Structure 1
Amino acid sequence: MAALVKVAAAFLCLITIVTAAEMTGSRRGNDYGDALSKSILFFEGQRSGKLPSNQRLNWRRDSALQDGSDHGVDLTGGYYDAGDNVKYSFPMAFSTTMLAWSVVEYGGAMGDELGHALEAVRWATDFMLKATDKPNVVYAMVGEPHADHSCWERPEDMDTPRTSFAVTDTSPGSEVSAEIAAAMAAASLAFKSSDRRYSKLLLKRATQVFQFADKYRGSYNTGLGQWVCPFYCDFGGYQDELVWAAAWLHKATNDAQYWNYVKQNINGMSMATSMFGWDSKHAGINVLVSQFILTKDSPDFNPFIPNADALVCNVLPESPFKSEKFSPGGLMVQDGAACNMQRPAAVSFLFVTYGTYLEKAKRTINCGNVVVTPARLIEFAKSQVDYILGNNPIQMSYMVGYGFKYPQRAHHRGASLPSVGDHGEPMGCDGWSYLQTQNPNPNLLVGAVVGGPDGNDQFADDRNDPNHSEPTTYVNAPLVGILAYFKAH
């Protein structure tokens, strides 16, 4: 796995500025319904534990069935975060929050895929309920990453240690605990109409875990640093996760105490930022909270609406305040980042969602002398999604199995090794020849969005280059919502 680092209408201008991605995006249409189906199917390829009878990616089989046994608890289930076989609760929870938010906002546009999307959410929340079952204990990961990364083996064959690591009242981890609370609160909304009992269970647990995260403050970097770093170190502090969780609890309960918590605890935080991903929730908080503020009779916009507007002005190419970088083909590029696709996927979700909120409020944004309409936000997000799906200079779809040309060598253990159905005998740790071969992966990890091209729109499709070829759950999760929106529109 890769080490992780953390229609514009101008009143004074008659020229419409578009990115290269928007120009190439007109070359061919995309089947957003097909891409949506595949983006959800990917999560079945990431499942850990006992697989259900309706498992559709049937080259995957049961794995890690003893997880948690070292502590006498059941920690089976959940997701492997990327191309390795470790379960990290922090990015898993963020992925779940985004899947649930996708259902909350765009579930009505998913059609037959709504059931599959809810299954994807439940596969994670069932694990989180187990991981938080004991008071003042939250399991933050299962598996030893250094041992895991010294092997190239199928999840079904794992013989590396499956050690369980927890944060507690004496060794806290506010970021991972709060993100789990956010995920369960968001999921409680996603299940509210289809499974009220499960929804209530998730909301009750979310409140308990949030109280734990807030009462026993501290970063899991301190107690679990040798295991979570450098892979999922908390680089940005845990304050944003606490506020993010409180915002979701307010959305789920409409309880004023959580709204007051949000307002009181943003002091000292740098909220006017465009950063959003598994480690930084700031921009997401502004957009999430903006819906509540925009629907109030006498809205107090500060600081959330100005900050959400600043997100837009920091990103759009025509904005005089733009700070974002783009490839020649128009893709958002984050210098030095592993898995660059997280950035355009996550920001595009925020643009579409904020755009729909602004449209209902009949409001536009001013970036200096550039007036930005809700339609422009959605247009920009579409340019990024279309780039990901193949409207780019090399006409490469970065979603495995979608389009006529897509990555063949994703950096992914399960996909790159023969499946149990084709090779029933255990293969052990030494599968390096399958990593090194130039042959395509024998198993199609349908829907996986890989790390993406370099800053010059080039992509080597090299299994040994995880920064560009490894898929992750937290790239796919926001795409689910965006694709559902574009499927309907």
Structure 2
Amino acid sequence: MHLKNQSSSSRDEVDLVGGYYDARDNVKFGLPMAFTSTLLAWSVIEFSDSMKNNNRLENAKDLYSDPSYSTKLLKTAMEVFDFADRYKGSYSDSLGSVACPFYCSYSGYHDELLWGASWLHRASEDDSYLAYIQSNGHTLGADEDDYSFSWDDKRAGTKILLSKGFFEDNIQQLQLYKAHSDNYICSLIPGSPNFQAQYTPGGLFYKGSESNLQYVTTSSFLLLAYAKYLRSHGGVASCGTSTITSDKLVALAKKQVDYILGNNPAKMSYMVGFGPRYPQHVHHRGSSLPSLHVHPAHISCGDGFQYLYSNSPNPNILVGAIVGGPDNRDHFADDRNNYQQSEPATYINAPFVGSLAFFSDETTGI
């Protein structure tokens, strides 16, 4: 596919072949894809030591290991952040007709500015971004504690990331974010004085009826990242008058990971292709339509609906994809038309990479 920009003076052709589609359709939405890329990179940053026993780490390095290209990316990211800060607003205010209702910026743009400044501070070591965080954090959601983390709402993840600066770099200005991170962690821990989260009878973290596993994979990643920071510095999470150890965080994350992989009331693995029982009717165009090898003739958009409504299992197994998952009673409908449960997405999978890397390492003691 080539995109042609026609102007009075020039015409540029941009090759759009390759890359990821965010979910079931052949569309590349920017906001969830940026989140996907960031969580994949964060997984490598935190858990690369657990990826050395196979070629996964080398594959990841192929994306970032060219120094001149990395420098260009950082410079461009700084320019984009400066533009976003100068001309504040949600991207879907202008692109609502194509981004909504799928990927509107429901939480607004404040969390993205704080998220961007936090990553730029780590990547550039430029203290101007730390000053930005200190000056603007209160108005960008830093004081608002919430127990969800997603492509749309970055607040919880930003606080965990900023707490790393306090733990590892001893940046005292970021101590506040250790306290906020504790609040987030404590909200997830059953029995904690600050407990707010909801869990299914089978023990799955439950946040929303559509693609709930996105919240499970993101919260599991943050639990493990924070557990790593605590372990490395002999710390605990403070929950009122109680304290929560890193082992408690790891145990909760493990329960969520095990549930996704089949240790649940339905004995269903929600990762396609993993285990003896997994979803057969995944809501995904490439998986549900026949391949060119089997059906070389053109299939029009209208003709494709027969495969959507078919009762037959998907002909192409989407190995490794994690679907939306069960409802709040641990019930799962293996039905393509129930996209809320059967649709996979890159932003569900991306945080799971770090969690699997963590648990694949025998040194974790799990």
Superposed CA offset, 1:306-328 (max 9, x none): 11000111111121221110000
- Name the residue aligned to 2:197: 324
- Name the residue aligned to 1:256: 127
1:460 counterpart SS class: coil
Superposed CA offset, 1:246-295 (max 9, x none): 11111111110011111211123243222211001101111101111123
- The question of whether the paired residues in 1 share the 8 Å contact of 2:117 and 2:132 is answered with yes
CA distance in 2 between counterparts of 1:367 and 1:485 reads 25
- Structure 1 residue 351: Cα displacement: 0.6
- Name the residue aligned to 1:210: 81
Question: What root-mean-square deviation, in Å, do the aligned CA atoms of Structure 1 and Structure 2 show?
Answer: 1.6
Unaligned runs of 5+ in 2: 7-11
- Name the residue aligned to 1:87: 28
Aligned-partner residue type, residue 26 of structure 2: N
CA distance in 1 between counterparts of 2:5 and 2:170 reads 54
The 3 A distance-change label for structure 1 pair 196 and 394 is: same
- Name the residue aligned to 1:400: 272
- Structure 1 residue 368: Cα displacement: 3.0
- Say whether 1:345 aligns with 2:217: yes
Superposed CA offset, 1:76-127 (max 9, x none): 03321100111111100110000011111112211321233445xx4xxxxx
CA distance in 2 between counterparts of 1:397 and 1:116 reads 26
- Structure 1 residue 70: Cα displacement: 5.2
The 3 A distance-change label for structure 1 pair 369 and 412 is: same
- Structure 1 residue 195: Cα displacement: 2.4
CA distance in 1 between counterparts of 2:164 and 2:281 reads 41
- The question of whether the paired residues in 1 share the 8 Å contact of 2:166 and 2:175 is answered with no
2:138 counterpart SS class: coil
- Name the residue aligned to 2:59: 116
- The question of whether the paired residues in 1 share the 8 Å contact of 2:165 and 2:174 is answered with no
Superposed CA offset, 1:374-409 (max 9, x none): 111111111101100011011100000111111111
Identical-pair percentage: 46
Match of 2:287 among 391, 415, 418: 415
- Say whether 1:436 aligns with 2:335: no
2:266 counterpart SS class: coil
1:266 counterpart SS class: helix
- The question of whether the paired residues in 1 share the 8 Å contact of 2:148 and 2:207 is answered with no
- Name the residue aligned to 2:351: 478
- The question of whether the paired residues in 2 share the 8 Å contact of 1:271 and 1:283 is answered with no
- Name the residue aligned to 2:108: 237
- Name the residue aligned to 2:9: none
- Structure 1 residue 298: Cα displacement: 6.9
- Name the residue aligned to 1:74: 14
Match of 1:360 among 228, 232, 235: 232
Superposed CA offset, 1:9-35 (max 9, x none): xxxxxxxxxxxxxxxxxxxxxxxxxxx
CA distance in 2 between counterparts of 1:366 and 1:210 reads 34
- Name the residue aligned to 1:299: 172
The 3 A distance-change label for structure 1 pair 107 and 276 is: same
- Name the residue aligned to 1:281: 154
Superposed CA offset, 1:443-462 (max 9, x none): 01110000001111111111
- The question of whether the paired residues in 1 share the 8 Å contact of 2:224 and 2:253 is answered with yes
- Name the residue aligned to 1:23: none
- TM-score with structure 1 setting the length: 0.69
Instruction: After TM superposition, list the pairs within 5 Å mapping 1:117-132 onto structure 2.
Output: 117-118=60-61, 122=63
CA distance in 1 between counterparts of 2:318 and 2:107 reads 32
CA distance in 2 between counterparts of 1:70 and 1:338 reads 37
Higher RCO (C-alpha under 8 Å, 6+ residues apart): 1
- TM-score with structure 2 setting the length: 0.92
Q: Count how many residue pairs are aligned between Structure 1 and Structure 2.
A: 351
- Structure 1 residue 366: Cα displacement: 2.4
Aligned-partner residue type, residue 390 of structure 1: G
1:103 counterpart SS class: helix
- Structure 1 residue 69: Cα displacement: 2.3
- The question of whether the paired residues in 1 share the 8 Å contact of 2:165 and 2:171 is answered with no
1:295 counterpart SS class: helix
- Name the residue aligned to 1:102: 43
